[in-house]
Amino acid sequence: AQSVTQLGSHVSVSEGALVLLRCNYSSSVPPYLFWYVQYPNQGLQLLLKYTTGATLVKGINGFEAEFKKSETSFHLTKPSAHMSDAAEYFCAVRKTGANNLFFGTGTRLTVIP
Amino acid sequence: DAGVIQSPRHEVTEMGQEVTLRCKPISGHNSLFWYRQTMMRGLELLIYFNNNVPIDDSGMPEDRFSAKMPNASFSTLKIQPSEPRDSAVYFCASSFDASNQPQHFGDGTRLSIL
Q: Does B30 touch chain A (CB under 8 A)?
A: no
Q: How confident is the model at residue B40 (pLDDT cuts 50, 70, 90)?
A: confident
SS3 for B111?
strand
Gap between the Cα atoms of A91 and A102, Å rounded: 8
What is the predicted pLDDT for the residue at A101?
84
Q: For strand B65-71 and strand B74-79, is the pairing parallel, antiparallel, or unpaired? A: antiparallel
Chain segment B3-35, per-residue pLDDT in tens? 999 999 999 999 999 999 999 999 999 999 999
At B101 the pLDDT is 83
For residue B42, give the nearest of A45, A101, A105 by CB distance: A105
Secondary structure string (H, E, C) spanning B10-76: EEEECCCCCEEEEEECCCCCCEEEEEEEECCCEEEEEEEEECCEEEECCCCCCCCEEEEEEECCEEE
Q: What is the pLDDT of residue A24?
A: 94
pLDDT for A51 equals: 87
How does residue A1 score in pLDDT terms, banded at 50, 70 and 90?
low
Residues of A in contact with B105 (CB under 8 A): 36, 43-45
B93 contacts A44? CB cut-off 8 A = yes
**CA torsion angle A98 A99 A102 A103 (round to 10):** 150
From the CA of B10, how many Å to the nearest CA of chain A?
11
Pairing of strands B74-79, B19-24: antiparallel
| Candidate from A50-59, B84-93, B96-105 with smallest mean pLDDT | B96-105
Is B5 in CB contact (< 8 Å) with chain A?
Answer: no
Q: Distance (Å, rounded) from C-alpha A51 to C-alpha A92?
A: 12
**Percentage of chain B surpassing pLDDT 90?**
82
Cβ of B64: how many Cβ atoms within 10 Å? Answer: 15
Mean pLDDT of A48-59: 91
Report whether B78 contacts B34 (CB < 8 A).
no
Contact A46 B106 (CB under 8 A): no
Q: Residue B25: its chain A contacts at CB < 8 A?
A: none
Residue A28 pLDDT exceeds 70? no
Question: Measured between alpha carbons, how far is A106 from A5 in angstroms, rounded to an integer?
Answer: 9
Tell me the per-residue pLDDT of A68-107, one tens digit each, with 9 for 90 and over: 988 999 999 999 999 999 999 999 988 777 777 889 999 9
A29, A49, A100, A108, best to mutate vs chain B, most B CBs in 10 Å? A100
| Amino acid letter, A72 | T
